[in-house]
């Protein structure tokens, strides 16, 4: 409706403007003709409430009406146009009233619009403030949530990284264990193949022995028949006077003594120039020469054991040391070449063990006890040490082995016995008991190792004999025993601490994963005053190997 009013008003105003222009033109003509002596008050009519533009228009029309004051105006023509002017004036008043009304409405609308604009500005400021506050709170909430999520993700990532490191370490350890087991499996496979071939040889030899036994039985039967015939003939023949006993000449005894000396010298020569150098050279020895030496050793061992059997009568006492030395070095050579052992070597070793660890009296054959005059009870240190080492190599009964170990442990308190032990490569004999299957003998072996680790002149040679692949393999197997005592761990850590100072041994520590085993042992050892010695030694081993000794947690 307001829009319609505005449209009507603009139309009437345009009509009024046209009429007003005509009136002005008319008045101008009248005034130009001399009929303008009277003032036209209607030309300067203004109304209260008119707008400034309206008042300006009225003033302009008044100015037009007073342009030619003083000029004579024709009253008849003025009278004629009064009616028209009044009509126009009424219309103008009507238009002025409409303009006032419209102006009032417009001012009210303008005020309403200004109020509304003010309210909108206030509302806009409130909304903008609320929006800023909402954005700030939203950013703060998002930042808080993102920081919490980032913290949780970082913690989970750290946990995953720790788990990955643990799994990687465990995987490396399992891989090393698998490699060691694979090596042990291949070694056992080779030994099994050797045993199978040896079994075939034994079966063939058994068949030949059976045939030989049958031949011997036939010969025995033939001899018995011949003896029966001879006895029958002697009974039938007349009795004969007994002959005088034959005297043994002094020249025969001197020849026998000189031959004994020559035999002893030959044994010493063979030991020093052939057996001991052959064992020390090991794999560097020529193959054909090694086979020749081993075959000769196998042939000599049964005869030497028979000579050892006669030592109780002390008629061959001067042969004891060279015989034991020859037997000992021959056994070491055969141990390092298991595929070359003879079929009957096991029986020879059993006889040797029986002779070295035989009863006190000849009639005590049931229970074995140590002899009191020879071998392990001999006053000669070399004979006693060789007897104990040979017994440790040949005995199988646990109680007898324990007695021999106690004798060896007691003897090694002397520095001279330590030198002899190192000279005879005693670590090679102890290595057969330094394994998880020999749990009863393992503590005594560690005690002997601790005795040898004392600062003496033989410490470095002893550590050199322990710096072998076989010894470190045995150590890795012993460290994996779950039920190993803390004292045994301490003794073993002392030996490893001294061996870790040798630079060439680092390859063995890496080869058998001893670093990881030592770290695991260090982590599993509770932090207690009683374990401080073990912890210190383990950290010293890792430090010597160039590994970090600090542990997390």
Mean pLDDT, residues 445-453: 93
Q: Is the pLDDT of residue 16 over 70?
A: no
Helix (H) or strand (E) holding 414: none
Closest Cα partner for 68 from 42, 29, 97? 29
DSSP letter assigned to residue 249:
P
- pLDDT tens digit string along 152-208? 999 999 999 999 999 999 999 999 889 988 988 988 999 899 899 889 888 888 888
Mean pLDDT, residues 294-317: 71
Which pLDDT score is estimated for 397?
85
Asked whether the beta carbons of 416 and 381 are under 8 A apart, the reply is yes
Flag the least confident range among 309-318, 360-369, 462-471. Answer: 360-369
Q: Is the pLDDT of residue 248 over 80?
A: no
Task: Give the pLDDT band (50/70/90) at residue 302.
Answer: confident
Which pLDDT score is estimated for 148?
93
Q: Is the pLDDT of residue 122 over 90?
A: yes
Mean pLDDT, residues 496-522: 91
As given in the structure block, the two tokens for residue 466 are 């322990």
Mean pLDDT, residues 259-279: 71
Which pLDDT score is estimated for 460?
92
CA pair distance 71, 60, nearest whole angstrom: 20
Q: Is the pLDDT of residue 12 over 70?
A: no
Most confident of 247-256, 358-367, 500-509: 500-509
Q: Is the pLDDT of residue 63 over 50?
A: no
Which pLDDT score is estimated for 30?
57
Q: Is the pLDDT of residue 211 over 90?
A: no
Q: Is 49 left (phi over 0), alpha (psi -120 to 50) or beta?
A: left
Alpha helices in 336-413 (DSSP H): 345-356, 381-394, 398-411
CA pair distance 428, 512, nearest whole angstrom: 19
Task: Give the pLDDT band (50/70/90) at residue 524.
Answer: confident
Per the confidence metrics, is the pTM higher than 0.75?
no
CA pair distance 467, 476, nearest whole angstrom: 13
Q: Is the pLDDT of residue 276 over 90?
A: no
- pLDDT tens digit string along 370-380? 444 567 888 88
Q: Is the pLDDT of residue 77 over 80?
A: no
Domain ranges of the chain: 2-130
CA pair distance 525, 535, nearest whole angstrom: 8
Q: Is the pLDDT of residue 425 over 70?
A: yes
Rounded to the nearest 5°, which phi and psi values hold at 542? -65, -35
Mean pLDDT, residues 452-481: 91
């Amino acid at each position: 409706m307001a829009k319609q009013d505005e449209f009507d008003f603009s139309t009437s105003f345009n009509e009024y403007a046209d009429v007003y222009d005509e009136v002005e033109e008319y008045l101008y003509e009248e005034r130009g003709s001399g009929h303008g002596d009277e003032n036209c008050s209607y030309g300067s009519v203004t109304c209260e409430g008119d707008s400034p533009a309206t008042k300006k228009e009225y003033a302009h029309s008044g100015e037009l009406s007073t342009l030619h004051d003083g000029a004579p105006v024709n009253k008849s023509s003025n009278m004629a146009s009064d009616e028209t002017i009044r009509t126009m004036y009424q219309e103008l008043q009507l238009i002025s009233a409409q303009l006032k009304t419209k102006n009032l409405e417009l001012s009210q609308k303008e005020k309403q619009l200004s109020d509304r604009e003010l309210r909108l500005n206030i509302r806009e400021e409130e909304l903008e403030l609320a929006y800023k506050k909402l954005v700030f709170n939203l950013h703060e909430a998002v930042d808080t949530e993102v920081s919490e999520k980032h913290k949780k993700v970082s913690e989970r990532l750290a946990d995953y990284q720790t788990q990955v490191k643990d799994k990687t370490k465990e995987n490396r350890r399992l891989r090393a264990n698998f490699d060691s087991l694979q090596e042990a499996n291949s070694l056992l496979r080779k030994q099994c193949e050797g045993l199978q071939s040896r079994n075939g040889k034994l079966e063939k030899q058994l068949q030949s022995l059976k045939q030989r036994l049958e031949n011997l039985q036939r010969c025995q039967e033939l001899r018995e028949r011949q003896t029966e015939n001879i006895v029958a003939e002697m009974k039938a023949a007349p009795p004969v006077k007994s002959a005088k006993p034959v005297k043994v000449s002094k020249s025969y005894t001197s020849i026998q003594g000189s031959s004994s000396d020559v035999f002893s010298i030959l044994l010493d020569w063979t030991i020093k120039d052939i057996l001991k150098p052959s064992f020390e050279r090991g794999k560097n020895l020529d193959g054909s020469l090694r086979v020749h030496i081993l075959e000769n050793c196998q042939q000599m061992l049964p005869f030497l054991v028979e000579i050892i059997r006669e030592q109780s009568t002390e008629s061959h006492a001067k042969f004891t040391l060279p015989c034991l030395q020859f037997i000992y070095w021959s056994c070491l050579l055969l141990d390092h070449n298991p595929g070359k052992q003879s079929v009957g070597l096991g029986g020879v070793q059993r006889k040797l063990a029986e002779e070295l660890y035989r009863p006190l009296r000849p009639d005590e054959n049931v229970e074995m006890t140590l002899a009191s005059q020879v071998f392990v009870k001999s006053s000669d240190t070399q004979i006693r040490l060789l007897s104990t080492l040979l017994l440790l190599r040949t005995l199988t009964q646990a109680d007898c082995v324990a007695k021999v170990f106690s004798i060896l442990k007691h003897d090694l308190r002397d520095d001279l016995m330590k030198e002899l032990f190192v000279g005879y490569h005693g670590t090679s004999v102890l290595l057969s008991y330094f394994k998880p299957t020999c749990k009863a003998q393992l503590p005594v072996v560690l005690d002997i190792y601790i005795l040898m680790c004392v600062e003496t002149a033989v410490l470095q040679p002893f550590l050199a004999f322990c710096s072998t692949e076989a010894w470190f393999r045995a150590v890795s197997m012993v460290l994996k025993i779950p039920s190993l005592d803390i004292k045994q761990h301490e003794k073993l850590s002392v030996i490893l601490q001294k061996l870790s100072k040798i630079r060439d041994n680092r390859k063995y520590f890496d080869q058998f994963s001893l670093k990881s085993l030592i770290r695991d042992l260090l982590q599993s050892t509770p932090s207690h005053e009683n374990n401080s010695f073990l912890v210190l030694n383990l950290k010293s081993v890792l430090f010597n190997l160039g590994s970090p000794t600090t542990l997390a947690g």
